[in-house]
A and B are shown apart, each in its own frame.
Chain A
């Protein structure tokens, strides 16, 4: 079934067409919660991608051994284990980022994006394909988080990745780094993505993909 789809498609689909946040609305909690600065978004994206890749590797390798009835519980234990690894690693080597992400690192366990990919993809496909799929989805997730983080950081603090780029003339929009800014920015981004998809589709001659 899946062998008819090229490996490249498997990898690319997560970045835009089936982007976990913009298209499927998965993993919204971290996408909204930690993107008050671009660096936090990047760290969260990398941590999530690490967990996604390692769980996919493990689950696609074990897919013929995990009994069907208890598969969800099995996936959750595997995911939670890798989240513990990521959490301890960040706490040991990047304590500042670990502190600013707080409980949102352990909450990667219940990120629907990860469980969703395991159930929909890794449990049915081989190791190589699963890794490519996870890498694409992870990159798509990082992309959205960093874009959200950059927009909110520029408007809310006048800086990018902690470097001030807007001068003193700029009055930061406090609201952007507070919770309402997260909802508003994501809402507008989703609308822009809809608009872009719609116009590029009509240029293709109305082909609905």
Chain B
């Protein structure tokens, strides 16, 4: 292995984007109900779902009643979930924002299914549904491969099955996992992501069966929601420490809905502790912050922003790179912050990177 020290892993293409182009890095396409997947399921699973109480994966990370789940105006008639209608997404996101690309992130909770055969069958169905009903219908769309992350070998098989489709640009990894993603248990997953030149998309939520906080089960959804930033930090520490980027020097990872302002201080701590403890992991040859800046990107919705623009600008500068942030609306989820606020406090050239150039480099959009 050669040193990775002087190669920027996610090189921004010089021709990429322009000042006005906008790419949305996190738009949710929601499976409306299990029946929508029937055309993509085998006779066995159609009959099983029809005749039993099994109704597929629940949306545990985004409770329907929660005001964070559906923003005003995104609601659909007949209790269909927001984000499940392409025509509405076209009208309210793609066209309204004048997007050149939108990266869809389907968060169908395959990871909550304990029956491995059901998990595999439903993941395949969701991906075929995405190809037929989303990617084939609008060339501005890119999508996320949904995989059973709890079964890394099966996940790898599914990535190899559909990863070559030009519409898929990343693999969805719910940030809540039963074991951190850097663990060697997940080696087949990263090998498949790397083999297919896809992005590892670590996303808010997940239902692995383990508590959503490292200290056990909280009582309220608010606790889980706020605490998710800690879980993202756990995954970043794991990926760097357990050498995933040393094994896969070209690997790209994006954190979706992670928040961004924690990153700077987090890297200070990570670098500091690495100096103390690096003998445990000699393959971590550079400061963790260098790995993160080379390999990891973050979408800017939500942004946990201080009230002062000056402080927000400082928090963004503390991240230490203008190549790490990627614009996202997180449609149809609702946050009290607006991504436009980030764009308004950074320099014009940085804003242009956030709006499109960083996304083009991350997902190799062309």
The answer on A and B forming one complex is no
